[in-house]
Structure 1
Amino acid sequence: MSILKLKAYIAAVKFGSLTKAAEALDYTQPSISHMIHSLEDDYGFSLLIRSKSGVTPTDNGAELLPIMQDIVNRYEHLSEAVYAIHGLDIGTVRLGAYTSVCVHWMPSLLKEFREQFPKIEIHLFEGNSDEIHNWLEEGHIDFAISTIQRSEEFHFLPLVEDRMMAILPRNHPLSKNDTVPIEVFAEERCIIPYEDTHKDVQRIFKKAKVKPNVAYQIRGDEAIIAMVKKGLGISLLSELLITDHFQDMAHLPLAPDHVRTLGITTKTEIKSLSPASRTFIPFLQQWLKKWFYYICWGIKTIHVVTFRKNECFPPTSAALFLSTLGGKKGLLHTCFSAGVLVISFNIDLCEKWRKKAQFHQFLYT
């Protein structure tokens, strides 16, 4: 069996074109066509329907496609395992992730990973919940960073908790509250994401038996945030998604509190993943632990010391931390020095702040 023939067929189905498959695999179009014809001769039936508009799989081809994909994946795992035995970190990781993870984690994470493992390629696929589910099911990605999918179908390794927040225009009457009752969404004009993009939002409403008063239903996160800023309604998104917008709109936790858990989602057990993937996942776990977080309790003040190895404290994280601990109310002193942030607060509200701080400790420890 030729792995190249299987790759040629898989690429042809993926792109719907022999020419695009050839470009992706760095072969000529006649070579791709010859490999697929050879595969059809081996099997004794057609695998592709060829037309002027492109190619599509036959029923038999569609039935064999996931098996072919699994064979190719296992062959790549075998190659990586051989390299690993020789002490070489070589391979490919196909990773799916939500937009919030791609925007806020991946740039720094992938930069650091590439510096340490330059011969491991990362193929990043950005998608919503349904897309990630399908990619996992069809074997297009090795694993995903997502919220938990259907538990009976996939394995899930929790990483962090991401708090769900009500977002409101800055001048909204509710913006002065400490929390927003979930029932408010049945009364206020709401800008709600589609279920295929944010299943966690819909899950919260269903659990609370609240039917939101939908004024607009939008697929894009940035569009939702922009509409909230313009006063067109309120919405519900995760804290990771709105980190860069804390100064432009009000953001309050729900009552009762809700979080989504982000983690590693796989179709097989993690120990069955490729060596490259099993190198990346522990690296990700350690990367998330690079935030150090300390609370020092004084007689009249609370001092928070936090830093990240070899990096200055990001302004967005500073804003997040201040909002987590109740904004600037009670703030006595802020000091940046050598990448270390020290924030001192009046201790009068420390119990309230401590509860909030503990909830967000995953961001720093």
Structure 2
Amino acid sequence: MTPPLSHERQLINILTEISQTGSVSQTAANLFMTQPTVSKLIRNQEKQYGVALIDRAQHPLRLTYAGEYYLRQMQQLVRSFQTVSNNLKAYAHTDVGRITLGVNPSLAQVILPQLLPEFHRRFPQVQIHLFEQPAVAMAQAVLAGDIDMHIGIGRTYDEALEHQRLFTDSAALIMPSRLLPPDFDANATPGIATLIHDQDFIAETDDSGFQHLVTSFLAQNEATPNIILRTPNLTTAVQLANAGLGATIVPASLLTATTLQGDTQIVPLPVTDFQADVAITYKVGMPLSEPVQEFLTLAQATFDPTKMP
């Protein structure tokens, strides 16, 4: 079977080469074709439209205005066809479409309840494939094309990745009362180093985007807690802090989705000192299927900064 738009693609290559080389013979050589074949293809196209595509009075040769217009429009046609073709592939295993979404397990309980019910209501035939893994693994999966996008805290600085910020989160320190200094004043704003330096601390695993921010924050404040446990799930960290195992730092948004128990103290971190961008990440230049585009639009509308508290 002849590939779609093969004739148009061939003419695009020929006219592009002629505009660069100014020579039919050199164009033929560059494209591994014979000169008579190249000349015949051009003349057949000129005959079909009744217009000259090449100004043969010029040396070196160059495209006429009609030739330049034809080349631009054919290039656009081929790009549009490729976009349609790529988008259709996303529907290969379902009647309508699907999205594959990666999200950190801790962040999932904050973000997904605000997005997935409404998305399913609008697009009930779209399948949702969910992968809950740390940010580093999700960024690699996006680059490899294994998932369409991922939602995470912090950004992987790779030119091949595009980030769409949803909102900026702050953070809070959850501190068992047994670790608080005797003179602790909940109405004051004690330095983070004073509270947790050398204290038992529960951290996320190193492949977490949020943990990278926490590590940087602690270093800037010259605070060195005693890390006794690392967990991939901040909900687990919160529950262990509730049980008195140690202190932990979590996104402020997680506190609204987590029940705090036990004898603990919550110390908000100043937003001027700690900020975490929550963003959707996808691959640059990758044609996005319609379900993915709709999900991105819904996410941005749901977390519109002008509507956030």
TM over 0.5: yes
Does structure 1 residue 273 correspond to structure 2 residue 288?
Answer: yes
Shift of 1:247: 5.7
Q: Are 1:159 and 2:159 an aligned pair? A: no
Cα deviation code 1:135-192 (max 9, x no counterpart)? 1222111111112332233221111011111111256444724434232332322222
Alignment of 1:94-113 (within 5 A): 94-113=100-119
Residues 100 and 240 in structure 1, CA contact (< 8 A), matched pair in contact too = no
CA distance in 2, matches of 1:290, 1:220: 26
Query: What one-letter code is carried by the residue in structure 2 that aligns with 1:117?
Result: F
Instruction: Give me the identity figure in percent.
Output: 25
Larger RCO (alpha carbons 8 Å, 6+ apart)? 2
What per-residue deviation string (whole Å, max 9, x for no partner) do you get for residues 218-256 of structure 1? Answer: 333233222211222211111122322346532212256
TM-score by length of 1: 0.52
Residues 129 and 199, structure 1, Cα contact 8 Å, conserved in 2 = no
Alpha-carbon spacing, 1:175–1:264, altered in 2? closer, same or farther (3 Å): farther
- Work out the CA distance in 2 between the residues paired with 1:94 and 1:102: 14
What whole-Å deviation, never above 9, does each CA across 1:98-136 have from its counterpart, x for those lacking one?
A: 223321221342111111111222211111122212212
Pick the structure with more strand per residue: 1
Note closer, same or farther for the CA distance 1:224–1:80 as it changes in structure 2 (3 Å cut).
closer
Contact residue 198 and residue 224 of structure 2 kept, 8 A = no
CA distance in 2, matches of 1:99, 1:218: 11
Matching residue's letter, 1:99: P
Q: 1:152 to 1:206 in 2, by over 3 A?
A: farther
1:196 equivalent in alignment to 2:207: yes
Question: Structure 1: how far apart are the matches of 2:97 and 2:276?
Answer: 31
- The answer (yes or no) to whether the contact 1:148–1:265 under 8 Å persists in 2 is no
Where in structure 2 are the equivalents of 1:8-27 lying within 5 Å?
Answer: none
Aligned residues: 216
User: After superposition, where does 1:1-365 map in structure 2 within 5 Å?
Assistant: 77-79=87-89, 90-153=96-159, 154-170=161-177, 172-173=180-181, 174=184, 176-184=186-194, 185-197=196-208, 198-243=211-256, 244-246=258-260, 248=262, 249-254=264-269, 257-269=273-285, 272-289=287-304, 362=308, 364=309
CA separation in 1, counterparts of 2:212 and 2:113?
A: 25
Following the alignment from structure 1 to structure 2, what is the Cα–Cα distance between the partners of residues 215 and 175? 26
Q: In 2 relative to 1, CA 218–111 (structure 1 residues): closer, same or farther, beyond 3 Å?
A: closer
Gaps of 5+ in 1: 2-72, 83-88, 293-361
How far, CA to CA, are the matches of 1:232 and 1:177 in structure 2?
24
Distance across 2 between alignment mates of 1:142 and 1:110: 15
Tell me the secondary structure at the aligned position of residue 170 of structure 2: strand
Call closer, same or farther: CA 1:144–1:212 in 2, change over 3 Å: same
- So what's the TM-score if we normalise by structure 2? 0.60
User: Aligned partners of 1:273, 1:182: CA distance in 2, in Å?
Assistant: 43
- Alignment RMSD: 3.2
Structure 2 counterpart of 1:190, one-letter code:
F
